[in-house]
A and B are shown apart, each in its own frame.
Chain A
Amino acid sequence: MCSASVSDSASDEENIMRIQNHPILKQFEKGKAVSFYFDGRILEGFEDEPIAVALKANGVMVHRYTSRDRKPRGIFCAIGRCTDCVMIVDGKPNVRTCITPLREGMKIETQYGVSKEDQVK
Chain B
Amino acid sequence: MERYDLIVIGAGPAGLSAAIEAASAGMSVVVYDENSRPGGQLFKQIHKFFGSREHKAKERGFRIGEKLLAEANDLGVKVMLSSTVLGVYENREITVMTASQVNHVKASSIIIATGASENMLPFKGWTLPGVIGAGAAQTMMNLHGVRPGKRVLMIGSGNVGLVVGYQIMQAGCTLAAVVDASPTIGGYGVHAAKIARTGLPFYTSHTIKEAHGSDRVEAATIVEVDKSWNPVPGSEKRIEIDTICIAVGLKPMSQLAAMAGCVMEENPLKGGVVPVCDEFGETSLAGVFVAGDVAGIEEASSAMIQGKIAGAASALRMGCISEDIFKSKCTEYRRSLEQLREGMFAHKNRGKPKESTDEGFKLSQSLLQRGFVADVEISHYPGVPPAEKRARGIVPVIECTQNIPCDPCQDACRKGCIKVGTTITKLPEIDAAVECTGCGMCVVSCPGQAIFLINECVEGDFANVSIPYEFHPLPNKGDKGIALSRSGEYLGEAEVISVVTSRASDETSMLTMRVCGELSMKARFFRAN
- Taking CB atoms, residues of chain B closer than 8 Å to A71 are 127
Q: Is the interface of B mostly helix, strand, loop or mixed?
A: loop
Within 8 A of B (CB), among A64-121: 71-81, 84, 98-99
| Residue pair B135, A19 in contact (C-beta under 8 Å) | no
Query: Is B352 located at the chain interface by the 8 A CB criterion?
Result: no
- Distance of A97 Cα from B150 Cα, bound (Å): 21
Query: Is B257 located at the chain interface by the 8 A CB criterion?
Result: no
Within 8 A of B (CB), among A5-40: 16-19, 21-25, 28, 30
Query: In angstroms, how far is the closest chain B Cβ from the Cβ of A14?
Result: 9
Within 8 A of A (CB), among B488-510: 507
| Residue pair A16, B133 in contact (C-beta under 8 Å) | no
Surface stretch bound by A, among B2-10, B226-234, B469-477: B469-477
Q: A24-B507, A62-B216 are in contact. Are A56 and B146 (CB under 8 A)?
A: yes
Query: In angstroms, how far is the closest chain B Cβ from the Cβ of A51?
Result: 11
Query: Is A4 located at the chain interface by the 8 A CB criterion?
Result: yes
Query: In angstroms, how far is the closest chain B Cβ from the Cβ of A103?
Result: 14
Taking a contact as CB atoms closer than 8 A, the residue among B36, B133, B150, B470 that contacts A76 in the complex is B133
Query: Is B523 located at the chain interface by the 8 A CB criterion?
Result: no
| Residue pair A28, B140 in contact (C-beta under 8 Å) | no
Query: Is B144 located at the chain interface by the 8 A CB criterion?
Result: yes
Q: Please give me the residue from chain A that is nearest to B139 by CB atom.
A: A78
Q: A56-B146, A73-B127, A77-B135 are in contact. Are A21 and B215 (CB under 8 A)?
A: no
Q: A62-B215, A77-B133, A99-B36 are in contact. Are A19 and B139 (CB under 8 A)?
A: no
| Residue pair B46, A24 in contact (C-beta under 8 Å) | yes
Q: Please give me the residue from chain A that is nearest to B472 by CB atom.
A: A23
| Residue pair B130, A81 in contact (C-beta under 8 Å) | no
Query: Is B460 located at the chain interface by the 8 A CB criterion?
Result: no
| Residue pair B129, A62 in contact (C-beta under 8 Å) | yes
Query: In angstroms, how far is the closest chain A Cβ from the Cβ of B117?
Result: 7
| Residue pair B140, A72 in contact (C-beta under 8 Å) | no
Within 8 A of A (CB), among B45-61: 46, 60
- Taking CB atoms, residues of chain A closer than 8 Å to B141 are 19
Within 8 A of A (CB), among B129-156: 129-133, 135-136, 139-142, 144-148, 150
| Residue pair A74, B145 in contact (C-beta under 8 Å) | no
Query: In angstroms, how far is the closest chain A Cβ from the Cβ of B208?
Result: 15
- Taking CB atoms, residues of chain A closer than 8 Å to B34 are 80
Q: A23-B470, A25-B46, A56-B140 are in contact. Are A61 and B129 (CB under 8 A)?
A: yes
- Taking CB atoms, residues of chain B closer than 8 Å to A73 are 127, 129
- Distance of A121 Cα from B127 Cα, bound (Å): 24
Taking a contact as CB atoms closer than 8 A, the residue among B60, B135, B216, B472 that contacts A21 in the complex is B472
Q: Please give me the residue from chain A that is nearest to B136 by CB atom.
A: A78
- Taking CB atoms, residues of chain B closer than 8 Å to A84 are 127
- Distance of A18 Cα from B147 Cα, bound (Å): 6
Q: Please give me the residue from chain B that is nearest to A30 by CB atom.
A: B145
- Distance of A72 Cα from B465 Cα, bound (Å): 50
Q: Please give me the residue from chain A that is nearest to B474 by CB atom.
A: A23
- Distance of A121 Cα from B136 Cα, bound (Å): 33
Q: Please give me the residue from chain B that is nearest to A14 by CB atom.
A: B146
Within 8 A of A (CB), among B423-477: 470-474
Query: In angstroms, how far is the closest chain B Cβ from the Cβ of A45?
Result: 10
- Taking CB atoms, residues of chain B closer than 8 Å to A77 are 118, 132-133, 135-136
- Distance of A77 Cα from B246 Cα, bound (Å): 10
| Residue pair A76, B131 in contact (C-beta under 8 Å) | yes
Taking a contact as CB atoms closer than 8 A, the residue among B129, B142, B146 that contacts A25 in the complex is B142
Within 8 A of A (CB), among B31-78: 34-36, 46, 60
Within 8 A of A (CB), among B198-250: 215-216
- Distance of A5 Cα from B346 Cα, bound (Å): 43
Q: A24-B60, A24-B470 are in contact. Are A72 and B129 (CB under 8 A)?
A: yes
- Taking CB atoms, residues of chain A closer than 8 Å to B140 are 53, 56, 75, 78
| Residue pair B129, A23 in contact (C-beta under 8 Å) | no
- Taking CB atoms, residues of chain B closer than 8 Å to A19 are 141, 145-147, 171-172
- Taking CB atoms, residues of chain A closer than 8 Å to B128 are 72, 74
Q: Please give me the residue from chain A that is nearest to B137 by CB atom.
A: A78
| Residue pair A17, B36 in contact (C-beta under 8 Å) | no
- Taking CB atoms, residues of chain B closer than 8 Å to A21 are 472-473
- Distance of A23 Cα from B117 Cα, bound (Å): 28
| Residue pair A22, B171 in contact (C-beta under 8 Å) | yes
Binary CB contact string for chain B from 152 to 184 against chain A (1 if under 8 A, 0 otherwise):
000000000000000000111000000000000
| Residue pair A61, B146 in contact (C-beta under 8 Å) | no
- Taking CB atoms, residues of chain B closer than 8 Å to A23 are 170, 470-472, 474, 507
- Distance of A78 Cα from B127 Cα, bound (Å): 14
- Distance of A73 Cα from B172 Cα, bound (Å): 25
- Taking CB atoms, residues of chain B closer than 8 Å to A80 are 34-35
Q: A77-B135, A79-B35 are in contact. Are A16 and B215 (CB under 8 A)?
A: no
- Distance of A70 Cα from B344 Cα, bound (Å): 47
- Taking CB atoms, residues of chain A closer than 8 Å to B118 are 77
| Residue pair A75, B144 in contact (C-beta under 8 Å) | no
- Distance of A30 Cα from B171 Cα, bound (Å): 17
- Taking CB atoms, residues of chain B closer than 8 Å to A81 are 117
| Residue pair A28, B135 in contact (C-beta under 8 Å) | no
Q: Please give me the residue from chain B that is nearest to A55 by CB atom.
A: B146
B residues sitting closer than 8 Å to A (CB atoms) are 34-36, 46, 60, 117-118, 127-133, 135-136, 139-142, 144-148, 150, 170-172, 215-216, 470-474, 507
Given contacts A25-B145, A53-B144, A74-B216, 6 further A-B contacts (CB under 8 A): A4-B145, A17-B147, A22-B170, A50-B144, A61-B129, A62-B129
The 5 closest A-B pairs by CB, nearest first: A74-B129, A28-B145, A78-B136, A61-B129, A78-B139
14 pairs of residues in contact across A and B, judged by CB atoms under 8 Å: A19-B145, A19-B171, A21-B473, A22-B472, A49-B144, A62-B129, A62-B216, A71-B127, A73-B127, A76-B131, A76-B133, A77-B132, A80-B34, A99-B36
